[in-house]
Structure 1
Amino acid sequence: MQNFRRWRRRNQTLRLRHKDMTHRRGRCRQVVILAATLVGFLSGAQSQLQAGRSYVPSMAPHPAIETVPGELLVRYRLPTMPIEIGQGDQHSLLVQRRQVLTTEASRLTQTIPIEVTASYPLVGMQRLTVTGRASVPEVIAQLAADQAVELVEPNYKVHAFEAPRPIEPNDLAWPTLWAMKQIHTPQAWQQTTGSHEVIVAVIDTGVDYTHRDLAANMWHNAKELPNGQDDDGNGIVDDVHGARFCGGDAGGDPRDGQGHGTHVAGTIAAVGNNRHDVAGVAWSVRIMALKFLCEDGSGSTADAIRAIEYALVNGAHIINASWGGRARSRALEEAVREADRRGVLFVAAAGNEGMNNDVVPSFPASYPIPNVLTVAATDWNDELAEFSNFGIRSVHLAAPGVSILSTMPDNRLAFMNGTSMATPHVTGCAVLVKSGHPGLQGRDLRKMLLGSGDSIKGLKGVIQDGLRMNCGKAVQKARPD
């Protein structure tokens, strides 16, 4: 702790001299961290993390901010959509918003060199492409001057950060899942193992919805058939288990070819007590697979917004966001606020740069919105993982994120490290609490999870209140008297 205090004093100077910040070992490569690094088998990972070491954080320079060339996001000033409305009323309001977007776009394209490539009516936004020889800053200035425009910004680029794939184990058992014991899930399972009434949107690289340990817990769009047609009329063909939004290309197959999203989904929802592979925190739940990070691990804020909108329209109760970046997108922030208005809990990874999010924020984790629950990663010793971001104001809770075994595409399994792996432990616990209290809104669910964490000495002064999640206590606390 003395080391940490010395670092914190030094950090006051570093805040004023970011140009002098040095790279920490294993710094991130790109704008957005998918908050995960793959490792080898458990024994190999143990050699990388020394037991009983003291944690001394280090700072890294600001990662570069990249944008999708020639693309913008614009939000128009629209009347607020009520939260408590029926399906018919919601459809009517969405139709009205689509008409407004169409009208405004038609007016603006007459004088400003832009082309509409996608519309997100729920959040009142459109994705635009700059045409002709105009520059993005010029078009942003023109749009910002229009009174009908509430916000306009570039379409920020995001991508994955992970190490080479490890060799996979072939003899797996419950004792391998050390994290489940550390957060006291066996105690939680005495009360509940989840409910298929709870829907979790995993917004990530997709999910292998055919995995033998996940198939039974996948969300199914009751209005859609896998027949090559858009049965539900939402503009997406065959979105049976979710949807794909990669590079502006919307499709119905969110199958994961990268692995990160499937691993996250397994920690949340791998079927337990079935003699196969691993067990997730919630054995019964419905996972809505939303793929906005493509096979190379990259995506954009526009694609993330489209995925959030899909989740909200289709009734998700919890959103898991195991990714983030340094650019503060106001458009993405508005989408997360819409989730808050609809009572949806938004669980976000703090990031893997070993940086202080209070000083250099990571988004969406650092948005000051009451439904956002930001998660750091801990190791076997209940210490902050050496890669985890932290912050006594902006990081709310910690959970295990070192050598986490979970599902991978093609019925495989793998160990991974990261705040990406810590986040779904919290999401899964939120499912268990929500299962017993279907009426709990996102803010209340967040409050209940934070109010039941274990106070950990090594986390004091590092994250808010120094708490590591205790799922058993959270479920017990949620029981009716």
Structure 2
Amino acid sequence: MKKVALSGLGVVVMVFGGITVVVPGNAAVPASPVAGQIMVKFRDDAAAAGVLGQQGLSDGPPIGSTGAHLVKVPSGKELQLAGALGRNPAVEYAEPDQLVTAATADPYFDRQYALQNVGQSFTNTAGTVTVAAGRNDADVDAVEAWNVTTGGGTRVAIIDSGVAADNDDISPQVAERVNFSDKTILGPDDYDRYGHGTHVAGIVAAIANNSAGVAGVCPGCSILDVKVLNDSGAGSSAGIAKGIDWAATHGAKVINMSLGQRVSSRTLEAAVNNAWNQGVVIVAAAGNAGTQAQVYPGAYPNVIAVAATDNNDAKASFSSYGKWVDVAAPGVSVYSTFPNHPFALETQYGSSEGYDILSGTSMASPIVAATAALVWSTTAGTSNTAVRTKVESSADPIPGTGSYWAHGRVNACRAVGALAC
């Protein structure tokens, strides 16, 4: 494949891990309900007051367009009351609102191999990590894809911890912002004090050829900043469901969720299905447990689940895998944007100076989301079904295809129909 010299470009990629189940590191932990609330869907909303009154509860606000309601309950009785309500014939289902966290794994490797791999070695920004040379062309051929399109303003929703307003390599790409986390935003520096969402967004759409840092896989894309995680990288299933609904109604063509939970949620799945039915392509991280255990929302049928590979096209040791995973993408030592103010992940990874590497399926997922956005901006972008099919069918069948993941490692160049890949 023809390689193109990159002048003034950097590449950033990061992995985001899990609703409820995946926490910083590689291990999965037991599901944990959000204290003081559950999610309930009634067969007839007119019966809600009576059914809840029997348990000493009151009805709560709707959760997006899922049909479920967020009901306040005494702390510590979430599972008990969800079970009791779920047995009532007037209730379609009742379930805990699960704690959501972000996850990263072994983050210090280096620079822009995900977009163009010529077998380079590199160090991270902090100078604390040297990444050994990888295999030539173990990349997604983003540079070649740009000969066809750079995104054409396609809107990609980043459902995450927010996008920092003080990094000029990604902030200008943000078209709209909304906050569904439990954190009150007090000013511009408060959009992302965890760091994960800014890294994920940069992988998608950091500005190219601006002599500043890195380039996203889809540098012509616009970002919808949907904040669902707080300063600790934690959130809830209900918050994510509301975020999905908001993104679908605000013009998102692609939704990226670098997060996941081990326990399936009917409310979350309803939000995913509603967005899919509105024509959105939905992409999510497969998780960092290193097992075949399913993680949601990635495992839902209407979501593209993404595993992580390294700069040799080998499965990352931490990456979840299995027949339920759809594609793979680089997720080890991916370079991207960080906030220029203090943030939680900075204490783990050292001084970022606005850019550094992270590892995880959280980083792999936005590469696939950005590839889908590129396809949307071509003549092949006729529907979400067509875009998903193009992304999956054009993937490179690297080792592990058919066992670790279904379709291979994504190839942006082939996905957009470029002649030279």
The TM-score, its normalising length taken from structure 1, stands at: 0.70
- In terms of mean alpha carbon deviation, does 332-341 or 207-216 score higher? 207-216
**Given that residues 298 and 305 in structure 2 are in contact (C-alpha distance below 8 angstroms), is that contact kept between their aligned partners in structure 1?**
yes
In the TM superposition, what is the alpha-carbon distance from 1:284 to its structure 2 partner? 1.3
- Matches of 2:80 and 2:361, distance apart in 1: 38
Match of 2:325 in 1: 395
Query: Equivalent pairs: percent with the same residue?
Result: 35
**Given that residues 63 and 238 in structure 2 are in contact (C-alpha distance below 8 angstroms), is that contact kept between their aligned partners in structure 1?**
no
- Matches of 1:475 and 1:397, distance apart in 2: 17
Match of 2:14 in 1: none
Alignment of 1:154-233 (within 5 A): 154-162=96-104, 176-181=111-116, 182-196=139-153, 198-219=154-175
2:142 maps to a residue whose letter is T
**Given that residues 397 and 450 in structure 1 are in contact (C-alpha distance below 8 angstroms), is that contact kept between their aligned partners in structure 2?**
yes
Alignment of 1:58-207 (within 5 A): 63-77=29-43, 103-131=46-74, 135-162=77-104, 176-181=111-116, 182-196=139-153, 198-207=154-163
Residue of structure 2 aligned with 1:363, choices 276, 296, 302: 296
Match of 1:445 in 2: 387
Give aligned pairs, total.
369
**Given that residues 158 and 226 in structure 2 are in contact (C-alpha distance below 8 angstroms), is that contact kept between their aligned partners in structure 1?**
yes
SS of aligned partner of 1:289: strand
SS of aligned partner of 1:473: helix
**Given that residues 144 and 152 in structure 1 are in contact (C-alpha distance below 8 angstroms), is that contact kept between their aligned partners in structure 2?**
yes
2:146 maps to a residue whose letter is W
- Matches of 1:164 and 1:396, distance apart in 2: 23
Match of 1:429 in 2: 371
Residue of structure 2 aligned with 1:468, choices 391, 399, 409: 409
- Matches of 2:73 and 2:312, distance apart in 1: 52
In the alignment, structure 2 segments of 5+ residues that lack a partner are: 1-16, 117-138, 341-352
Distance change >3 Å, CA 403–CA 116, structure 1 → 2: same
Structure 1 or 2: more helix by fraction: 1
Higher Cα radius of gyration: 1
Match of 2:250 in 1: 314
**Given that residues 36 and 416 in structure 1 are in contact (C-alpha distance below 8 angstroms), is that contact kept between their aligned partners in structure 2?**
no
In the TM superposition, what is the alpha-carbon distance from 1:156 to its structure 2 partner? 1.2
Residue of structure 2 aligned with 1:337, choices 268, 273, 290: 273
1:185 maps to a residue whose letter is A
Q: Which has the higher contact order (CA 8 A, sep 6+)?
A: 2
In the TM superposition, what is the alpha-carbon distance from 1:333 to its structure 2 partner? 1.1
**Given that residues 120 and 126 in structure 1 are in contact (C-alpha distance below 8 angstroms), is that contact kept between their aligned partners in structure 2?**
yes
In the TM superposition, what is the alpha-carbon distance from 1:462 to its structure 2 partner? 2.2
- In terms of mean alpha carbon deviation, does 415-424 or 437-446 score higher? 437-446
In the alignment, structure 1 segments of 5+ residues that lack a partner are: 1-27, 38-59, 79-99, 170-175, 220-240
> Aligned-residue CA RMSD in angstroms?
3.0
Match of 1:261 in 2: 197
1:330 maps to a residue whose letter is R
The TM-score, its normalising length taken from structure 2, stands at: 0.80
In the TM superposition, what is the alpha-carbon distance from 1:247 to its structure 2 partner? 3.4
**Given that residues 400 and 422 in structure 1 are in contact (C-alpha distance below 8 angstroms), is that contact kept between their aligned partners in structure 2?**
yes
SS of aligned partner of 1:305: helix
- Matches of 1:146 and 1:309, distance apart in 2: 28
Distance change >3 Å, CA 252–CA 201, structure 1 → 2: farther
Match of 2:234 in 1: 298
- Matches of 2:361 and 2:47, distance apart in 1: 41
In the TM superposition, what is the alpha-carbon distance from 1:298 to its structure 2 partner? 1.0
Alignment of 1:277-288 (within 5 A): 277-288=213-224
- Matches of 1:163 and 1:304, distance apart in 2: 22
Distance change >3 Å, CA 312–CA 445, structure 1 → 2: same
1:362 maps to a residue whose letter is V
